Structure 1
Amino acid sequence: MYDYVIVGAGSAGCVLAARLSEDPDVRVCLVEAGPADSSPNIHVPAAGSRLFRTQLDWDYDSHLEPFCRDRRVYLPRGRVLGGTSSLNGMIYIRGNARDYDSWGQPGWSFDELLPYFRRSEDNERGASEFHGAGGPLAVSENRSRNPMSDAFLKAAGQGGFPANDDFNGAAQDGFGYYQVTQRDGMRCSSATAFLHPALERPNLTVETNVHVHRVTVAGNRATGVTGRRLDEDVEFRAEREVILAAGAYNSPQLLMLSGIGPADQLAPLGIPVLVDQPFVGQDLQDHPQCWLVHGHSEPVSLLVAGEERHQREFRDRRTGPLTSNGPEAGGFVRSRDGLPAPDLQYVCLPVMFTDGGLGFPTGHGFSFASYVLQPRSRGSVRLASDDPTAKPRITHNYYADEADLRTAVEGVRIGLEISRQKALKPYTERAVSVPASDSDADLRDFVLRNTQSSYHPTGSCAMGRVTDAELRVLGVDGLRVVDASVLPTIVSGNTNAPTIAIAEKAADLIRGVAPLPPATAAAGG
């Protein structure tokens, strides 16, 4: 018996476990489907993609994407302490202030959430109006800075785009290096930052290798969870609350397996309906991204990272290509005049990136992608079976709204202009994956054939529809959802930092303490 049972030790779950267990009188149990984060490939930044399709990855794929040539899209998610923060690209981005203000949820404006961003942050630039220092989450400069990343930023400048040295500062527009969640050249996942320092607390229990199957409900109240560890059935009971922090795919799946979801979907599977909640699993959002890839003869890509000299540099000084987060640099762009905020994000990788990260580079190369930041298209997470071990049926519906496709096409068009600038000439010798021409037809065809996920699923248990503004599941007492699934609309940037900030605020809501005073800085404008 515990006070709180948290399902999922990812970006949000690790924060919740650490913050709630600060009270020595509270008993906290954190339950994770995967193992401890002991793999060296987790902690060496450049090795993150080696975790794809392994036991540390839920290894999801979308269902046939009906507006994207009926393609399946690979959707990696971390299945390990730290969750996807143990295998992501480590970019620290909050998004745009307008994102949060548009939610219309009490307590969740940007000014109200900025103090929680700052509380979690230990930025090596120090504390400021926009940043925090001394928090658990290390935010640092990238130590790799590949010459191709430098060239990409120069090319963006040659293309007429401004520079920006802090995307989380006063303005989001422009190009520059991303800050990353690293400490001393090593990955700083949510497990490293929040959970590990709390593991010695006697009131915190961490259960790994447990696949949670359902939330147990007595009357109208969540009482715990049941699941399985190898061949053993297990149950964890909660006196106060069950908190789902399993992510935008698994949290709605767990709700539906527990009888909380659309009755017309649950009943045919033989799942007793406890709460007919039609919005569970709906409103799924992601940033569709499309990559331009070139090959060249310069021996500077991340293929050299495994060379002995670079291994020695990393071992001795924690610098060099093995510290690369992959998407080292990028920027934010407005695809047309009159937009209130950027609608495109760019990231560049100093290596060939193909097949959603599953392809192996055939030589030295350079890749960069554009994301559609505020997609109008909505997908869903549905059950494929009443068997809790069956993977959910995920459909993102990329480009269901024609406006998203138009923005994606403009993103590729702008990317092609950047690729033709003088600074990138040494690294664009050979086209590996580019459109056949600049025509609208060829650009559309390229986008539909090459779109991948940016690994930013959100919205499937949205505030105001599935939960209230305190993240309590509507219709069930003692049950909350705290992860990226609660975002009413996706933020304009990478989702790891916002998920951590949401969990920081949720911890205060759960503890019943007064919220941090709102900020007055209009950051990310």
Structure 2
Amino acid sequence: LHHTQLWLLITSLLSSIYFSFSLDSPQCNQGLEVGLPRMTSDVKEIEGKSFDYIIIGGGTCGCPLAATLSEKFSVLVIERGGSPYGNPIILEKEKFGFSFLQANEFTSVAQEFISLDGVVNYRGRVLGGSTAINRGFYSRASAEFVKKMGWDETMVKEAYEWVESKVVFPPALSLWQSTVLDGLLEAGVLPFNGYTLEHVEGTKLSGTLFDLLGKRHTSADLLAKGNLNNITVLLNATVSKIMFKRNGERPRAHGVRFIRSEGNTKEAYDVYLKKPEKNSSSWGDVILSAGALSSPQILMLSGIGPLKQLQRFNISVVANLKEVGKKMQDNPAISLWVDSKPMWRVPDTPQVTGITENYKIIIESIIVPTSPNLTRVSIAGKLAFPASRGKLELKNKDPRANPLVKFNYLSKEEDMEACVNVHRTVEQVSTSRWVTFYLGNERNILKKLGEVASREYCRKNVRTFYHYHGGCTMGSVVDKDYKVFGVSGLRVVDGSTLVESPGTNPMATLMMLGRCQGLKIIEERISSP
């Protein structure tokens, strides 16, 4: 190791030791169920009950939202998957990527879906959502993004810190990630910014959901920061529709209908919002935090969406919102295998990222299993601000099934041109002398492609960074307070409201968003008559 690598390894290790033992963790770094709210899979136990707030989806955004609302109100979280606790393919860093190997459409922790573009993708089906299956790389949104969204900067900063106090740790830099760092610097991804959670151009180390002992901390851990007596989590239950009552001309959400995730779709159960107290007219809300696929899907199944879509499936119309399912977007990515063949290496998650070309290109690397006994080493880059957009439509009326989605990767010429730049940058890092030296005889001999060949490579090999978003975008489906247009008592707070993916990835910002919106909802509710 040269002195920079050695310094990074030592300081990262010392930082991790300090943070791991100074920050209280609900799991005590062992993946144990400690200090968490009551969880049940018994649908009959929940059936017919009433809560101040019902959150659909216990994922990246839903868990911090539930924890925050529970400070003042009773909250039911309905999660279509099970608990992450005690599951080694979720909690153990050395098992990273194994959830993808076991993916299927209806029962696995990672639910596979293939877009109409032909690109394989995944979404979390477990409490904690995608924070339970992703790479764990944590980085905040840029200051420009916060301003663009019109968010209060002080509240945003405090909400990020609230999240980070429970689930974010400095990385224990691995030898491979140290090599990638040097490869990025050699490729001109400058400056080197050291360790920072901020979204800054250049090469940096950032936070991770994995602690010193290699245990993952998901957004579900944030439930421990709430009032545990006010939170109930219903696991393995899938919402089939939101129920509405008409008060005059404007429908109001008053409850939710759900089924067992692995049960009969005809056996449905209902749960309700609490009625206001005698001296108040203030209702709580049903809040969709089910993600960029499920949130628009549930809206349509509930009668909110494009009229033709609803009529096609004989769904009673509650609100004709043409933009539900529109403006779907995913960040096109290009990945190169830098090793010559599959072999066993310990899976490794990103601890280093390169941000270049005026924030348009983001580079990371992983060691990912391709089978139970083999891994590959990948260096990949994504296009941060694609122009191409797609749409989501219902496939059928089964809420457990994946909807139809097409992202239209690289359909805009400007995206294809940008993809060539992504490919070129990934090539430069992959063929750097540091990566070449590290892999030695096991390196993949990569031939640098010209522009024409690179365009063809992009067209044939475009993939995903799993940062898809849209479908319920702000200004089209929800207002600035995340309230759904045309109805009362219904909000959407998750990645489906985003028009672009913030930062290196949206995870940090979505957890922050759950906290911020929870605080704003409490303030609004308390100030209402």
For the superposition of Structure 1 and Structure 2, which TM-score range results when normalised by the shorter chain? Answer: 0.7 to 0.9
The aligned counterpart of 2:253 is: 222
> 1:102 & 1:18 partners in 2: Cα distance?
27
**Distance in 1 of aligned mates of 2:187 and 2:223:** 44
2:340/2:445 contact within 8 Å kept: no
Indicate whether 1:465 and 2:476 are aligned. Answer: yes
2:486 equivalent in structure 1? 475
Q: 1:374, 1:491 within 8 Å by CA — same for their partners in 2?
A: no
Say yes or no: does 1:82 pair with 2:93. no
Deviations 1:437-489 (A, max 9, x none): 42112111211222211111212111111111110001110000011111133
**Pairing of 1:437-448 with structure 2 (within 5 A):** 437-448=448-459
Letter in 2 for 1:285: Q
Q: Structure 2: how far apart are the matches of 1:28 and 1:374?
A: 36
- 1:275 paired to 2:319: yes
CA contact 1:98–1:110 (8 Å) conserved in 2: no
Q: 1:362 to 1:46 in 2, by over 3 A?
A: closer
Deviations 1:45-84 (A, max 9, x none): 231311120534352323321xxxxxx1122111111111
Please give the per-residue CA displacement for 1:289-320, whole angstroms capped at 9, x wherever unaligned.
Answer: 111112259xxx99343xxxxxxxxxxxxxxx
**2:233 counterpart of 1:206:** yes
Mapping of 1:31-42 within 5 angstroms? Answer: 31-38=78-85, 39-42=87-90
Q: 1:332 aligns with which of 335, 350, 355?
A: 355
1:156 to partner: Cα distance = 2.0
- d(CA) in 2 for partners of 1:109 and 1:2? 29
- After superposition, the C-alpha distances for 1:191-249 in whole angstroms (9 at most, x for unaligned) are 02x12455x83322111111110000111100111011224421111132100000010
State the match for 1:158 in structure 2: 186
The separation in 1 between residues aligned to 2:96 and 2:238, in whole angstroms, is 23
Contact 1:5 1:241 in 2 (8 A): yes
Asked if structure 2 preserves the Cα contact closer than 8 Å seen for 1:296 and 1:428, the reply is no
Q: Residue 402 of structure 1 is aligned with which of 403, 413, 417?
A: 413
Tell whether 2:120 aligns with 1:91: no
Partner of 1:187: 216
Corresponding residue SS for 1:500: helix
- Once residues 474 and 272 of structure 1 are traced to their aligned partners in structure 2, the CA distance between those partners, rounded to angstroms, is 17
Contact 2:167–2:219 (Cα < 8 Å) also in 1: no
- Partner of 1:213, secondary structure, is strand
1:60 aligns with 2:116: no
Q: Any conservation in 1 of the 2:187–2:425 contact (CA below 8 Å)?
A: no
The match for 2:510 is: 499
The answer on 1:243 being equivalent to 2:318 is no
- 1:261 maps to amino acid: G
- Asked whether 1:28 is paired with 2:75, we answer yes
Q: Which residue number corresponds to residue 99 of structure 2?
A: 51
Q: Deviations over 1:151-201 (max 9, x none)?
A: 2211222233321224533x6111133321233431110002x12455x83
User: Where does residue 381 of structure 2 map in the other structure?
Assistant: 370
Partner of 2:495: 484
**2:344 aligned to which of 291, 296, 303:** 303
Q: Deviations over 1:398-438 (max 9, x none)?
A: 1121111211110111221222222121326566596x642
| Corresponding residue pairs, total | 452
Name the CA distance, whole Å, in 2 between partners of 1:204 and 1:363. 41
Report the equivalent of 1:291.
Answer: 335
SS in 2 for 1:11: coil
Instruction: Answer yes or no: is the 8 Å Cα contact 1:295–1:429 preserved in 2.
Output: no
Query: Residues 108 and 429 from structure 1, CA distance in 2 versus in 1: closer, same or farther, beyond 3 angstroms?
Result: farther
Structure 2 distance, partners of 1:398, 1:421, is 29
Percent sequence identity over aligned pairs: 28
SS of equivalent residue, structure 1 residue 381:
strand
Q: Unpaired segments of 5 or more residues in structure 2?
A: 1-49, 275-283
RMSD over aligned CA atoms reads: 2.5
Structure 1 residue ranges without an equivalent (≥5): 66-71, 123-136, 306-320, 335-340, 516-525
- 8 A contact 1:60–1:74 mirrored in 2: yes
Instruction: Please say which of residues 94-103 and 237-246 is displaced more in the overlay.
Output: 94-103
Q: Kindly provide the amino acid, as one letter, of the partner of residue 323 in structure 2.
A: F
Secondary structure, counterpart of 2:338 in structure 1: strand
Residue type of the alignment partner of 2:512: A
Alignment of 1:415-454 (within 5 A): 415-426=426-437, 427=439, 429=441, 437-454=448-465
Q: 2:206 maps to what in 1?
A: 178
Query: What CA distance in whole angstroms lies between the structure 1 residues aligned with 2:431 and 2:231?
Result: 55
TM-score, normalised to structure 2, is: 0.80
**Cα distance change of structure 1 residues 141 and 433 upon mapping to structure 2, 3 Å threshold:** farther
- Aligned twin of 1:521: none
TM-score, normalised by the number of residues in structure 1: 0.80
Is this contact kept in 1: 2:98–2:372, CA < 8 A?
no
The answer to whether the Cα contact below 8 Å between 2:335 and 2:426 also exists between their aligned partners in 1 is no
CA–CA distance in structure 2, aligned partners of residues 514 and 422 of structure 1: 59
How many angstroms apart in 2 are the aligned matches of 1:405 and 1:489? Answer: 18
